[in-house]
Chains A and B, each alone.
Chain A
Amino acid sequence: MRFDSPLAAVGHTPLVRLPRLSPSESVRIWAKLEDRNPTGSVKDRPALFMIEQAEKEGRLAPGATILEPTSGNTGISLAMAARLKGYRIVCVMPENTSEERRQLLAMWGAEIISSPAAGGSNTAVRVAKELAAEHPDWVMLYQYGNPHNAGAHYATTGPEILADLPSVTHFVAGLGTTGTLMGVGRYLREHRPDVRIIAAEPRYDDLVYGLRNLDEGFVPELYDASVLTSRYSVGSADAVARTRELLAEEGIFAGVSTGAALHAALGTARKADRAGEEADIVFIVADGGWKYLSTGVYTAASTEEAVARLHGQLWA
């Protein structure tokens, strides 16, 4: 494969069957390796697409400043694209975010504004909205509410999956901004009306939940429940166990949120197998494990020890 620039190389990721983790010959699990994007995560797709659409709409012009609340992958993707395209970028992220993430953002030239740790991403979103009001000339792409986030997956991820696997029956992905599930889900359903769209939502320990209360429940503007067929809530222990299983059984080194998506994919596969259905289940490998090495979950002697190491940390 040949591309005219690094940015043109976003997408076109491999779809690989997982022969050891698939429950039977008739129920097959497939991994879409989004860690093979230029900055190493699925977020390269919406980041580049949101920037290019903003350019077309005339919202972004050379010399402009991009503003985004992000604790990780989206900011890294936006910062790389901003550097290559000549924009200034300001990321608002919680003050307790890891050193690796700060370095990754800084190396592509992003300026970081810290938001208070309490409230996590919700607080970062609020601070970013306040900054946007103070600086009307800054352009906030706002991944949680920008239809071009889902649009990127409708235009690229969905068509790639259908072209590679016309027999697809289920699509599973993590639920964050909801962009991947909304975009791929709508595209696949238009072409395969019976396709099942399944969300894997991270479920944190009580320790992390202690930072929030019920009134702070934040639903991204992009979320449309009618696109989903099912929704799994995956705890830290299952996410870590599946992340390690994916590495041990299939040799795929993925981030912890991918373990959560795999857990939902395996639950879906088990149900299909019991029901005697033929199934081709695709799930998203959102990023590689590199940014999570310092947690120690990959090298811990046992899954129990790995879970203990992750205790109290945000992993998706």
Chain B
Amino acid sequence: MAIEVRIPTILRSYTDGKKAVEGAGETLSELFADLDARHPGIRERLVEDGELRRFVNVYLNDEDVRFLDGIGTKLSDGDSVTILPAVAGGMR
């Protein structure tokens, strides 16, 4: 099961500078564990005490997983996961 994971600039030190990597897992939690096996240390930057870190946003097919099932959100083959530093607000 292949899931594309888009990596923000500040975490590309873990992915040899790659903007996107592939991973696998039934849930987001499993996906992060899978990523950590090939990119050691990345999970620690995303997860704290079994929850998403406060200043990290994760999107499943562009939808914020905090409004889905958080780190327990279920994944399907072909899904796209985007990791971003949390920045709110906009231009109006």
- Bound Cα distance from A120 to B91, whole angstroms: 8
- Bound Cα distance from A71 to B9, whole angstroms: 27
- Quick one: given A214-B85, A217-B86, are A74 and B92 in contact (CB under 8 Å)? yes
Judge whether A232 and B63 touch: CB under 8 Å: yes
Interface-lining segment among A31-39, A80-88, A174-182, A187-195: A174-182
Question: Is residue A302 contacting chain B, with contact meaning CB distance below 8 A?
Answer: no
B73 to chain A, nearest CB (A): 12
- Quick one: given A214-B55, A231-B67, A233-B82, are A223 and B62 in contact (CB under 8 Å)? no
- Give the chain B neighbours of A70 by CB distance below 8 A: 92
Question: Is residue A143 contacting chain B, with contact meaning CB distance below 8 A?
Answer: yes
- Quick one: given A206-B9, A214-B55, A228-B67, are A234 and B89 in contact (CB under 8 Å)? no
Q: From DSSP, what is the main secondary structure of chain B's interface residues?
A: loop
Q: Which of A120, A201, A219, A229 has the most CB of B within 10 A?
A: A201
Judge whether A176 and B91 touch: CB under 8 Å: yes
Question: Is residue B13 contacting chain A, with contact meaning CB distance below 8 A?
Answer: no
Judge whether A233 and B91 touch: CB under 8 Å: no
Question: Is residue A295 contacting chain B, with contact meaning CB distance below 8 A?
Answer: no
A235 to chain B, nearest CB (A): 8
Question: Is residue A72 contacting chain B, with contact meaning CB distance below 8 A?
Answer: yes
Q: Which of B59, B66, B88, B90 has the most CB of A within 10 A?
A: B90
- Give the chain B neighbours of A232 by CB distance below 8 A: 59, 62-64
- A-facing mask of B45-68, CB < 8 A → 1, else 0? 000000000010101011110111
Question: Is residue A111 contacting chain B, with contact meaning CB distance below 8 A?
Answer: no
B13 to chain A, nearest CB (A): 14
Judge whether A316 and B64 touch: CB under 8 Å: no
B20 to chain A, nearest CB (A): 12
Which of B59, B68, B90 sits near A174, CB closer than 8 Å?
B90
Interface residue total, chain A, C-beta cutoff 8 A: 42
Chain B interface bracket (under 10, 10 to 19, 20 to 34, 35 or more): 20 to 34
- Bound Cα distance from A219 to B88, whole angstroms: 5
- Quick one: given A214-B55, A233-B59, A267-B63, are A316 and B88 in contact (CB under 8 Å)? no
- Give the chain A neighbours of B84 by CB distance below 8 A: 203, 233
Judge whether A316 and B90 touch: CB under 8 Å: yes
Question: Is residue A155 contacting chain B, with contact meaning CB distance below 8 A?
Answer: no
- Give the chain A neighbours of B62 by CB distance below 8 A: 232-235, 238, 263-264, 267
- Bound Cα distance from A316 to B91, whole angstroms: 6
Question: Is residue B37 contacting chain A, with contact meaning CB distance below 8 A?
Answer: no
Question: Is residue A202 contacting chain B, with contact meaning CB distance below 8 A?
Answer: yes
Judge whether A212 and B91 touch: CB under 8 Å: no
Chain A interface residues toward B at CB < 8 A: 43, 70-74, 120-122, 143-144, 174-177, 201-203, 206, 209, 212, 214, 216-220, 223, 228-235, 238, 263-264, 267, 314, 316
Chain B interface residues toward A at CB < 8 A: 8-9, 55, 57, 59, 61-64, 66-68, 82, 84-92
Other contacts beyond A231-B66, A233-B82: 5, CB < 8 A: A228-B67, A233-B59, A238-B62, A267-B63, A316-B92
Show 16 residue pairs from A and B whose CB-CB distance is below 8 angstroms, ordered by the A residue.
Answer: A74-B92, A120-B91, A144-B92, A176-B90, A176-B91, A203-B82, A206-B9, A212-B87, A214-B55, A214-B85, A214-B86, A217-B86, A233-B59, A233-B84, A263-B62, A314-B91
